[in-house]
Amino acid sequence: MTSPLQQKIKITGPSIVTANRTWDGAVIYRTAAHGWSIDLAHAAVVRTADEARALLAESVADDVGAVGPYIAPVELKESGRIEPGNLREHIRLQGVTIELPVPA
Amino acid sequence: MYTYDELDRTLINERVEEFRDQVKRRLSGELTEDEFKMLRLQNGVYLQLHAYMFRVAIPYGTLSSAQLRRFAHVARRYDRGYGHFTTRQNIQFNWIKLAELPDALADLAEVGIHAMQTSGNNTRNVTSDQWAGVAPGEIEDPRIWSELLRQYTTLHPEFSFLPRKFKFAITASAHDRAAIKVHDIGLRLHKNEAGETGFEVLVGGGLGRTPFIGKTIKPFVHGHDLLSYVEAILRVYNQYGRRDNIYKARIKILVHELGIEKFAAEVEDEWQQMRGSALTVDDAVIEDIRSRFTYPAYEKLPHMPEELKKAAHDPQFERWRKNSTFTHKVQGYAIVTLSLKPVGGPPGDATAAQMDAVADLADKYSFGEIRVGHEQNLALPHVARRDLPALWKALDAIGLATPNVNLVSDIIACPGLDYCSLANARSIPIAQELTRRFANHDTAELIGRLHINISGCINACGHHHVGHIGILGVEKNGEEFYQITIGGRADEDAEVGTLIGPAVPYGDVADVIEDIVEAYLALRERPDELFVDAVKRLGVEPFRERVYATR
């Protein structure tokens, strides 16, 4: 399997690195403090391929804490809020778009 | 029900402890994700969008009430209070934590349930007709042979690292409820001219990116030779199957590229070298397996008991009875399908409370036995007809008496982009909207049998290729679009559906399906001409015209 670091990195706008937490699979985001957060607001935002590669490299290095890190697009609102850049990431952040059979 | 012997119980328990150790080593960092991934997949553990997903096998779709209660327990204790029944007689839990998985597995092992080979490039859960053993006219109970194959394929060292996953399905009835023609190996039990029981063997069926209907490789293989013949197929596949390209690795591609005659000749050569060897199945082996299946002590009951005559005055009961109960091989009994397709609900989901309640009803009315079908519904296989009115009331109270079995709102759907990391588009909200559009039972009955299948990506877990109407989610420039096919079917006359035109956006899908159904109602020759038969007669053009004329 090709390592994410061996793949060509191409970004077209602000991006973050996201993964799933190893022990429970929760969605997590790489922070500027070289850790992980479940809050997208804490994600480190990169704007160039080199920055993205570096952020991904340190994320991949943390194989114990996170599974399958990858670069995902985000939108930066005027307020500074970070929002997911596509439907998949919206669903990962906000949960399923349907009502669960048993309310949480 | 099949009773596991000491060997089975030991194997399952040892597997739990092995996996517990693997998880511990993964969480401590001793195993990398690359090292661990294959191990977790072989125990049915995927990583999805929000969490790990845990897929548990229900061999040949047969469950005891104790096993179903244990699913409820796992759903409640380790997940979010519900489970999802799949198109291959498995149940999936969508929110499970890796750290708690060994405990969940141990709890399941106590009732003889495991997750071995529910993922990975090996032989998967052997599936069968959910009416096995109770369907009228059946050659014999196909679960005997399913169980033989389960034992043979479980942890088989030679076939644990195949080029790609490998799926068996078995039926013993003329009407195929197990979709054998879209499996890697499909087996149809029948008798030859000498009255001996054997199998028509089909090979190379499958859906996914490149759908194929299975081809008959041998019209009759005697039961004694089943394992050696199947092993010959697996050996040829293991040797020649593509390992360089995941999209070309399934046996269907090999069969297609070699041609069925050449593939059959390769298998025959291989088979002749091992035929009559230790793989020959003795009658004693089959009898031993047969003896481990317990069958109910049926009573002698009238076909039309007083309770049923009285309840026939209730139109709601009658609607459900006509829709959801089916002829049993024993007079006075019925097979009852429990629809997991409520209006507005996610197809195939059941809450822990529903699972517990169904387990109780199985104990009360079905000799403690439950079945799971590939259509993502449950069944109670041994219900006395006198008990149908009471059972209906109990099912209605827990939301499992929707009279839509085999009708337009009995939709098969994969989890789609709401859960799945492979999906390009959502499936469940499309299904929910369609069930609302077709919620009127009179309309659904007027339409008649119509299977809608939805997949959120080309991997086709919702079997869209063989839906009478198939809906495939694709992504175009970041938006969800859906391709529509019509004329597919998964039964003994299996066919792959035909695309009717360009993909339509998310918001248009339900309108398009309504247009197709309206066109069918206007074009059918008679009220009992099924949708799929009308498409066969007319082709896709009239439906295409109806859908795209104004779009």
- Length in residues, chain B: 551
* Cα separation, B295 vs B347, whole angstroms: 30
Say if B349 is an interface residue toward chain A (CB within 8 Å). yes
For residue A1, what pLDDT band results from cuts at 50, 70 and 90?
low
Q: Tell me: do B141 and B283 sit in the same domain.
A: yes
Q: Which pLDDT belongs to residue B60?
A: 96
In a domain, A97, yes or no: no
* Closest chain B C-alpha to A67 CA, distance in angstroms: 7
Query: Which of chain A's residues have a Cβ under 8 Å away from the Cβ of B34?
Result: 1
Asked if residue B538 belongs to a domain, the reply is yes
Within 8 A by CB and 6+ apart from B255, the residues are B203, B204, B212, B215, B263
Q: Is residue B486 part of a domain?
A: yes
Over residues B198-219, the mean pLDDT reads: 97
B73 falls within a domain: yes
pLDDT at site A2: 61
φ, ψ (nearest 5 deg) of residue B112: 75, 25
The answer to whether the beta carbons of residues B452 and A61 sit under 8 Å apart is no
**What is the rounded distance in angstroms from the CA atom of residue B200 to the CA atom of residue B186?**
8
Q: How many domains does chain B have?
A: 4
CB contact under 8 A, B32 and A97: no
CB B53, CB B47: distance < 8 Å? yes
Residue A56 lies in a domain: yes
Q: Testing the interface with A: which of B36, B40, B47, B419 to mutate, by most A Cβ within 10 A?
A: B47
Neighboring chain A residues of B398 at a CB cutoff of 8 Å: none
Residue of B nearest to A90 (CA): B418
Instruction: Return the percentage of chain B with pLDDT > 70, whole number.
Output: 100
The answer to whether the beta carbons of residues B166 and B124 sit under 8 Å apart is yes
Rounded to a whole number, what is the distance in Å from the CA of A103 to chain B's nearest CA?
9
DSSP assignment string, B513-543: HHHHHHHHHHH-SSTTS-HHHHHHHH-SHHH
Strands (E), A1-104: 15-21, 27-30, 36-37, 66-76, 82-84
Same domain flag for B97 and B33: yes
**B97:A23 CB<8 A:** yes
Which runs of consecutive H residues, i.e. helices, occur in B42-92? Answer: 65-78
What CATH number should be reported for the domain holding residue B42?
A: 3.90.480.20
Complex ipTM value = 0.94
How do residues B452-486 score in pLDDT, each as one tens digit?
A: 999 999 999 999 999 999 999 999 999 999 999 99
Q: Is residue B271 part of a domain?
A: yes
Question: pLDDT tens across B134-190, in order?
Answer: 999 999 999 999 999 999 999 999 999 999 999 999 999 999 999 999 999 999 999
B328 and B380 inside one domain = yes
pLDDT at A33 over 90: yes
A4 pLDDT more than 80:
no
Q: pTM of the full predicted structure?
A: 0.96
Shared-domain flag, residues B138 and B287: yes
Q: Could you tell me the pLDDT band of residue A8, with boundaries at 50, 70 and 90?
A: confident
Judge whether residue B499 has pLDDT over 80. yes
Q: What is the mean pLDDT of residues B353-378?
A: 98
Interface of A with B in 63-92 (CB under 8 A): 63-64, 67-68, 86-88, 91-92
Q: What is the pLDDT of residue B219?
A: 97
Cβ–Cβ gap B81/A26 under 8 Å: no
Q: How far apart are CA B512 and CA B551, in angstroms?
A: 10
* CB neighbourhood size of A61 (10 A): 13
**Contact across the interface for B32 and A63, Cβ inside 8 Å:** yes
Q: How much is the average pLDDT of A21-39? A: 98
Work out the mean pLDDT of chain B and round it to a whole number: 97
Residues B201 and B320 in one domain: no
* Distances A52 to A65, B162, B346, B362, B528 between C-alpha atoms, Å: 19, 37, 38, 56, 61
Say whether both B147 and B72 belong to one domain. no
> Among B364, B397, B430, where does a domain finish?
B397
* Contact status of B419 with chain A (Cβ, < 8 Å): yes
Question: What does the angle CA B480 – CA B482 – CA B484 come to, to the nearest 5 degrees?
Answer: 180
Q: Is residue B264 part of a domain?
A: yes
Q: What is the dihedral of CA B270, B139, B183, B239, to 10 degrees?
A: -10
Same domain, B219 and B93: no
Confidence of residue B1 (pLDDT cuts 50, 70, 90): confident
CB contact under 8 A, A97 and B418: yes
Pairing of strands B479-486, B498-499: antiparallel
B149 and B105 in a single domain? The answer is: no
What's the rounded mean pLDDT across residues A71-95? 96
Average pLDDT score over residue span B19-34? 97
Whether B188 and B322 share a structural domain: no
Test B51 with A88 for CB contact under 8 angstroms.
Answer: no
Q: Is the domain of B182 the same as that of B74?
A: no
- Is A5 within the bounds of a domain? no
The verdict on a CB contact (< 8 Å) between A26 and B426 is: no
Beta-carbon separation of B49 and A64 below 8 A: no
Q: Is residue A70 a part of any domain in this protein?
A: yes
Within a domain: B122 = no
B215 and B94 together in one domain: no
Dihedral angle computed from the Cα positions of residues B94, B97, B101 and B104, in that order, rounded to the nearest 10 degrees: -70
d(CA B19, CA B390): 44
Touching A: B residues 478-507, CB under 8 Å: 478, 480
Contact A97 B26 (CB under 8 A): no
DSSP letter at B166 equals: B
* Within-domain flag for B407: no
Name every residue whose Cβ is closer than 8 Å to that of residue B382 and which is 6 or more positions away in sequence: B134, B296, B298, B328, B333, B335, B366, B367, B369
Same domain, B176 and B231: yes
Return the residue in B417, B480, B481 with the most chain A beta carbons within 10 A, the one to mutate for interface testing.
B417
Least Cα separation, residue B31 to chain A (angstroms): 9
Give residue B537's domain range: 412-548
- Structural domain including A31 reads 10-90
> Does residue A43 form part of some domain?
yes
Last residue of a domain, one of B341, B374, B397: B397
Residues of B in contact with A95 (CB under 8 A): 50
SS (H, E, C) B378-393: EEEEEEEHHHHHHHHH
Residue A102 resides in a domain: no
- The sign one gets for the Cα dihedral B90, B93, B94, B97 is negative
CATH code of the domain containing B528: 3.30.413.10
How high is the pLDDT of residue B424? 97
- Give the count of domains, chain A: 1
- Residue A98 inside a domain? The answer is no
Which strands make up the sheet holding B325-327, listed edge to edge? B62-64, B369-372, B378-384, B333-338, B325-327
Helix (H, G, I), strand (E, B) or coil at B43: coil
Q: Going by DSSP bridges, is the β-strand pair B62-64/B369-372 parallel, antiparallel, or unpaired? A: antiparallel
* pLDDT above 90 for B384: yes
